[in-house]
Structure 1
Amino acid sequence: MERLVKINRNLIKFAVVGLNHGKKHAESIMKIKGCELIATCTRTQVLGQNRLGNINNYTSYDELIRCEEIDALIISSPHHYTLDIFKKACVNIKYIFLEKPVSNTVKDIEEIKKLADKYNVKVLIGHHRRFSSAIEKLKAIVESKELGDLVAFNCLWCLKKHTGYYQ
């Protein structure tokens, strides 16, 4: 319970695991008043340093999770790592954002739910297309009123992912 109260102070300290899609989250955190990005985790130290400047970057999520200063964690790694990271993080970190897809099995998602309940973790699932360049372009067109005042919108979204995604 102590960890839940701690978050109410003026500065929320975030960490991000995975800087592919997670880079957008990290950059957003760095722009929000009252939020501080204190750590990231990528497979290579150099990659983390080059992407976000002088933020503490870990190459092991086990090591990052041991950092007691973290209030909120964003897990934006490949989905087959999510459960393992969540299992280790939920003991000490009580606010966890999971990038979609959360997992490729219902069993893993059920396990995440059980752990969240057991450790009183607040979990938010991200919408993985939110930062897509196609969605951002569409949003800009709608906001510009280039199409006039929209009263309805119907869309079919079809994309082919790279082969590695399905491995």
Structure 2
Amino acid sequence: MKRILVVGGGLIGIRHIQAVKQHPGCHLVGLADPDMSIRVDATRFASMDDIQDDVDGVIIATPTHLHAAHGMAAAARGWHMLIEKPVAGTVAEAQALARALEQAQVRSLVGHHRRYHQVLQHLKAKIAEGVIGRVINVSLLWAMRKPDAYFEQNWRTSGGSPVMINLVHDIDVLRFVIGEISEIAALRGASLRGTDRIESGAVALAFENGATGTISFADTAPSPWGFEAGIGENPNIGTTHQDMMWITGTRGAISFPSLTLWQGKDWGTPSERVEFDKPAQSCVPLDAQLDHFLDVMDGVAPLIDVADAARTLAVATRIEEALAKQSAGLPVRA
């Protein structure tokens, strides 16, 4: 039995508590959160400093800007950790945490839970096998209209943008499936809600393996296209089962999440659709992530650790900085 502490009693923290309590291989030590009014069926602590019990692993589900400090404190106590995403508030903090974990010989996992969708793992494996040949380019689309209430009296109205809230997950998907991102260029769309917050834009990407790609995103446009809508993973976002990512290669192309595969030779002959098995999701990704965390504590290589997640954060940060330098009106055109 692994003794697990959850730090942070927000929505995702509560989901982690439920997952830990239901897992036959876990014992929930309790919830650490300074808000003692949070009511959960678990032992309550105001902070990690109050923990006297033995702990094998900690799940850190606090606000992003606290991740590094809480990770450092847990590492000092020898606790292996699962940290929610984004891994830290800044790239420098994430890198410092990675060094601290290495020095303390503490293992880590970061909650980029999309990597636990079996359909995404299947896509990654088939591309690696060469089902579409060498990858040439990828196009990804995320467009949703967030309700106005989402921004009322909320930290997102001032400091947040869909880049760090939403796009960071798509960036991690691209890194996971296609490879490391080496260069970015970005154009910012108009801000329509009366603030200077980033709301939409377009990003061009270059990958180390020679592939290129684009991301188009908006939180002001209702559409059926986006990872959450296509997969149906988020109860707050309507499910459409529509594709939102298209990948081309030297032997064909494939779209996601339908895993529709096309293969061909040249433009003189139309590409043909090829039957392609799509795996069923046997386990909720959050539960699969917890299973993996227990294995990571026992020495299994993590699907994504702090050092790896820092690279996803670095790409998202570069995109955010490039967009922030541009006018909140119409994008600048050369």
Give unpaired runs (5+ residues) of structure 2.
Answer: 118-138, 161-334
Q: Which has the higher helix share?
A: 1
Q: Does 1:26 align with 2:13?
A: no
Corresponding residue for 2:83? 98
What do you get for the CA RMSD once the two structures are aligned? 2.4
Which has the greater radius of gyration?
2
Scaled by the length of structure 2, what TM-score is found?
A: 0.36
Q: Deviations along 1:32-57, whole A, 9 cap, x unmatched?
A: 1020111111222231xx2x31x211
User: Alpha-carbon deviation of 1:93?
Assistant: 3.1
Distance 1:124 1:41 in 2: 19
Corresponding residue for 1:156? 141
Corresponding residue for 1:58? 45
Q: Does 1:35 align with 2:20?
A: no
Q: Deviations along 1:118-148, whole A, 9 cap, x unmatched?
A: 0011100002679xxxx9xxxxxxxxxxxxx
Give the one of 69, 90, 103 matched to 1:84. 69
Q: Secondary structure at the match of 1:45?
A: coil
Equivalent position amino acid for 2:106 in 1: V
Q: Deviations along 1:42-90, whole A, 9 cap, x unmatched?
A: 222231xx2x31x2111223323xx341110000000111111111110
Q: Deviations along 1:12-40, whole A, 9 cap, x unmatched?
A: 11000112111111100100102011111
Q: Which has the higher strand share?
A: 2
Give the one of 4, 13, 18 matched to 1:14. 4
Distance 1:63 1:94 in 2: 15
Give unpaired runs (5+ residues) of structure 1.
Answer: 1-10, 136-153
Aligned residues: 129
Distance 1:96 1:58 in 2: 18
Equivalent position amino acid for 1:33 in 2: P
Equivalent position amino acid for 2:16 in 1: H
Scaled by the length of structure 1, what TM-score is found?
A: 0.68
Q: Deviations along 1:69-114, whole A, 9 cap, x unmatched?
A: 1110000000111111111110223310000011221100100110
Q: Percent identity of the aligned residues?
A: 25
